[in-house]
Structure 1
Amino acid sequence: MKTLLLLLLLCHVSSPVLHSLKHFITASTGIANIPEFVATVEVDELLVGSCDSHNRLEAIQDIAKKFSTEYPERFDRYRQQCFNVMPIYISCTYDLMSLFNQTGGVHVLQEVDGVEWDDETGEVKGFAQFGYDGEDFMKWNRKNFTWIAQRPEADIVRPIWDATELLREFYVGVLTQIYPEQLKKSVEYGRSFLLRTELPSVSLLQKTPSSPVSCLATGFYPHRASLVWRKDGEELHEEVDHGEILPNHDGTFQMSVDLNLSSVTPEDWTRYDCVFQLFGVKEDIITKLEKDQIRTNWVKPSNMTVLVTAAVVVLALILIGAAGFIVYKRRKVREKKERFHYFDFSL
């Protein structure tokens, strides 16, 4: 599953006119306080809706909310479709548990399927892949409409899936006709939202003086973007760590790339810069590596800190002295009282 998702992300960076429709489906057992079934839909990497076995169907992005208002009958049909497939995935989870000789515990069945559409060439590619308990299980072969087993246990299931004509017709239909039509309609319906461009704010962050410097770009759209460190104008591939592209709550995205400066002298910092590139925008955002531009939580000791520390020490000494003086006075009073008790004033 991880390999498939990584390839999909790479495709989005390399193909500037690629749109996608993806369904993420999870069925689980033995996990308290979460639904047995959860399905989500993404268009161009944006989460637009979800449904689950708690009878919840939610339109998340504004385009989905607008769609549900303008076309309530279609929205209800999607709800019905979601609840119709729900028992199938839950049942399949228990079938896989039996295949793996599992009688209980936490087990998870996952599927990601959908299509990618190049609106310039018109090419459409459908995909479907299953995973079980965190490992790849079965993958759809779109060339001959069969299944590819991705682990030994799947070899037992593969002939059954290939021989099930209803299953084959379903995936051929949705991956070659229904999903492409839905994706094209979604892009057309939400064109002003999905085809917009938003530039990010770019910051340089560092936890401590010895930590890597992180270049963070947040608030950009669309998903197709790149962020790299350069030295003397050449992209760096060593001493850098690329983070994933992550969604923000407002429908934009963020990403970061770390640069290890442990072997770089301060004099060479000016040779480095961070470059953000966004699909559809000709000009790059270039951020020079300059010490005064780095934001950090680390506070450098200052003269004021030294003065405050000295004041605290002096105050502590005063308090200790005062406490000692109080003890001394109390001891004197006690000795005086004892001296008075020692003499007999009755005479």
Structure 2
Amino acid sequence: MKTMELVFLLIFFPVTLSVKHSLKYFTTMSSGVKNFPDYVAVGLVDEVQWGYCDSISNTVEGKQDWSQKMFEDDPQHMELYTERCLSSQHKYKAHIDILKQQLNQTEGVHIFQRMHGCEWDDETGEVNGFVQFGYDGEDFIAFDLKTLTWIAPKPQAVITKHKWDRDTAHNEIRNYFITQECPEFVKRYLDLGKSSLLRTELPSVFLLQKTPSSPVSCHATGFHPYRAMMFWRKDGEELHEDVEHGEILLNHDGSFQMSVDLNLSSVTPEDWRRYECVFHLSGAKNDIVTKLDKKVIRTNWVSPSEFPAGPVIGGVVGLLLLLAVCITGVFIWRRRDNGFRPANSSDSSSSDPSSVKDAALD
């Protein structure tokens, strides 16, 4: 009887799945980085970059056709963001100077970041948001929307917390932007860019492997929107062990890519047929299922007996040097679900939290 009632409800009262859309702003102030803007700000809607500004150009630039047209049609909107770009870089330069002074840091590369924005549910209208600051890749202070007060995850930020808690007027302004203005911006941008932002595209899925002993990577690229998940399963059951999930990354054309690796070191060749990779895209009717099959795995690995060792050693050394340069140049940390990524400080002074003083930002 209960089954028949459930079927009746599904037929006459179909379930509509809500979609959460987001608008996020990432600003970065750096010190000690050569040949790079001191200040960089980007805006993302549904994880797609649509706006950009730095301390060299001092002008907001639309990164999508629809956002560039928006700025052309609405100069006041562009002036609003340009003004914020100019004012923020001066304010954050003061912040990073204060932190360096009070934390006894005189050399090295240092990064001060702010992340803020909102998430809007198009079915329920529910709005969530965040305002968070980080220093040298670690959480420094965050805004609590429920209490309109600040959270200091590190002892050095306690003085700043008390100072900012007392500024109730400014906290009310932050809350109003996140809960009122930000959702309206989300709706406006989604409407202007609906042909690209609200499109649904399935990815191409490949199985990749560096060497015969390496994990097999299930790689999906070219999908949109970013609301997707991918996993390995065995005999129809999702696997959690020997599996490593990668982040969803943005492609140059506004689509996304992601990977999930499977360690097969303890799996016999006879059992490979029991494994498959599943890609699920929000809004798509069917999943993409890829069977684990050696014949379809793509690799650039070649047996050592098939080529001379000299050029290979030279190539490997060259790649390692290139990798070292790339790692050295990376200093803008991506946001995790719970904050900034930890980073090693290059400053010559002590980075031990217990050995530094409290830092109070103005």
Kindly state the Cα deviation for residue 19 of structure 1 after the two structures are TM-superposed.
0.5
Determine if the alignment matches structure 1 residue 137 to structure 2 residue 140: yes
Determine if the alignment matches structure 1 residue 235 to structure 2 residue 238: yes
Give the length in aligned residue pairs: 291
What is the match of residue 351 of structure 2? Answer: none
Kindly state the Cα deviation for residue 170 of structure 1 after the two structures are TM-superposed.
2.9
**Structure 1: 4+ residue segments shifted above 3 A:** 299-302
Is the Cα–Cα contact under 8 Å of residues 18 and 123 in structure 2 kept in the other structure?
Answer: no
Kindly state the Cα deviation for residue 38 of structure 1 after the two structures are TM-superposed.
0.9
Kindly provide the CA deviation profile for residues 128-163 of structure 1, in whole angstroms up to 9, marking residues without a partner as x.
111111211101010011101110011111111111
Query: 2:28 aligned to 26, 29, 32, which one?
Result: 26
- Shift of the 63–264 alpha-carbon distance from structure 1 to 2, 3 Å rule, reads same
Kindly state the Cα deviation for residue 76 of structure 1 after the two structures are TM-superposed.
2.8
Q: Which runs of 5+ in 1 are unaligned?
A: 1-14, 309-347
Is the Cα–Cα contact under 8 Å of residues 18 and 124 in structure 2 kept in the other structure?
Answer: no
- Shift of the 100–166 alpha-carbon distance from structure 1 to 2, 3 Å rule, reads farther
Tell me the TM-score normalized by structure 2: 0.76
Q: Secondary structure at the match of 2:37?
A: coil
Structure 1 Cα separation of the partners of residues 293 and 231 of structure 2: 16
State the percentage of identical aligned residues: 56
Is the Cα–Cα contact under 8 Å of residues 16 and 224 in structure 1 kept in the other structure?
Answer: no
Task: Give the counterpart letter for 2:50 in structure 1.
Answer: V
Determine if the alignment matches structure 1 residue 71 to structure 2 residue 112: no
What is the match of residue 311 of structure 2? Answer: none
Task: Give the counterpart letter for 2:179 in structure 1.
Answer: T
- Shift of the 16–257 alpha-carbon distance from structure 1 to 2, 3 Å rule, reads farther
- Shift of the 16–227 alpha-carbon distance from structure 1 to 2, 3 Å rule, reads farther
Kindly state the Cα deviation for residue 101 of structure 1 after the two structures are TM-superposed.
2.8
Q: Secondary structure at the match of 1:86?
A: helix
What is the match of residue 53 of structure 1? Answer: 55
- Shift of the 97–178 alpha-carbon distance from structure 1 to 2, 3 Å rule, reads same
Kindly provide the CA deviation profile for residues 165-190 of structure 1, in whole angstroms up to 9, marking residues without a partner as x.
44323312211222121112111222
What is the match of residue 104 of structure 2? Answer: 101
Structure 1 Cα separation of the partners of residues 92 and 289 of structure 2: 48
What is the match of residue 39 of structure 1? Answer: 41
What is the match of residue 119 of structure 2? Answer: 116
Determine if the alignment matches structure 1 residue 286 to structure 2 residue 319: no
Structure 2 Cα separation of the partners of residues 224 and 196 of structure 1: 12
What is the match of residue 300 of structure 2? Answer: 297
Determine if the alignment matches structure 1 residue 223 to structure 2 residue 200: no
What is the match of residue 346 of structure 2? Answer: none
The two structures, once aligned, show a CA RMSD in angstroms of 1.9
Q: Which runs of 5+ in 2 are unaligned?
A: 1-16, 309-362
Determine if the alignment matches structure 1 residue 171 to structure 2 residue 168: no
Q: Secondary structure at the match of 1:51?
A: strand
What is the match of residue 325 of structure 1? Answer: none
Kindly state the Cα deviation for residue 85 of structure 1 after the two structures are TM-superposed.
2.1
Task: Give the counterpart letter for 1:42 in structure 2.
Answer: L
Q: Secondary structure at the match of 1:219?
A: strand
Structure 2 counterparts to residues 306-321 of structure 1, below 5 A: none
Structure 1 Cα separation of the partners of residues 91 and 164 of structure 2: 14
Structure 2 Cα separation of the partners of residues 152 and 140 of structure 1: 16
- Shift of the 90–170 alpha-carbon distance from structure 1 to 2, 3 Å rule, reads farther
Structure 2 Cα separation of the partners of residues 167 and 98 of structure 1: 25
Kindly state the Cα deviation for residue 214 of structure 1 after the two structures are TM-superposed.
0.7
Task: Give the counterpart letter for 2:91 in structure 1.
Answer: I
Structure 1 Cα separation of the partners of residues 42 and 228 of structure 2: 23
Task: Give the counterpart letter for 1:80 in structure 2.
Answer: E
Structure 1 Cα separation of the partners of residues 37 and 218 of structure 2: 37
Kindly state the Cα deviation for residue 192 of structure 1 after the two structures are TM-superposed.
2.2
Is the Cα–Cα contact under 8 Å of residues 212 and 258 in structure 1 kept in the other structure?
Answer: yes
Q: Which moved more, 1:215-224 or 1:259-268?
A: 259-268
Query: 1:198 aligned to 182, 196, 201, which one?
Result: 201
Structure 1 Cα separation of the partners of residues 304 and 49 of structure 2: 45
Q: Secondary structure at the match of 1:153?
A: helix
Q: Secondary structure at the match of 1:144?
A: coil
Structure 1 Cα separation of the partners of residues 192 and 171 of structure 2: 30
Kindly provide the CA deviation profile for residues 215-247 of structure 1, in whole angstroms up to 9, marking residues without a partner as x.
100000000001111101111101111111110
- Shift of the 116–84 alpha-carbon distance from structure 1 to 2, 3 Å rule, reads same
Task: Give the counterpart letter for 2:35 in structure 1.
Answer: N
- Shift of the 46–242 alpha-carbon distance from structure 1 to 2, 3 Å rule, reads same
Kindly state the Cα deviation for residue 201 of structure 1 after the two structures are TM-superposed.
0.1
